[in-house]
Structure 1
């Protein structure tokens, strides 16, 4: 005899039942593994989303701080320029008034141009 072919095997009922339980256990095991893998992947994606959100929030806060600091610096610069111009103008007026006082103390006659409403328009006249 060189060849044997098994065409049908009918194992006893308890073996068939054990084989069915083993196949069901394997299917349940694979299903549980897939469920856990899904949960794991979901948690990883959630954590990555939270991480990205925090990074973006931190970057936004940093940019806002830079913009606020830049705006504050610009405001300080403008106030400084305005104060400088104000005091420069006041210093010029003060100097003109000092010169006018000196001239008025030395002269007895002055030429006041018509329509002049400013002391800088007054010119001394030699007598």
Structure 2
């Protein structure tokens, strides 16, 4: 009984401490199979870790995610290269042949509505103009 009481007090204390921390908006990393798999409207941001334009753009996107509570999924092209494929296994994400997405440069920002790419912004200047 005493052990249960101590355990309850510890759990309560931990939950209080955990609730006091400032929560930062962190991007959700996705893989290519997930690009068009989510419901509603959202952005998918393609970037490279060693790309200077990507580093600048990533900071701006994170700021806007926090300020406007927009949904943006991050796709690291260094970890998940987008190759050209005609593999029918990718048909289930709404794009038969992933090459139809046509990511030719990083950074690239896609706006997706109801599993359809409605806008694509390529390069730092174009993305920053859109985000103004």
Q: State if a TM-score over 0.5 links the two structures.
A: no
Higher RCO (CA-CA < 8 Å; seq separation 6+) = 2
The structure with the largest helix share of the pair is: 1
TM-score tier by shorter-chain length is: under 0.3
User: Which is greater in Rg?
Assistant: 1
TM-score normalized by the length of structure 1: 0.22
TM-score (norm 2): 0.21
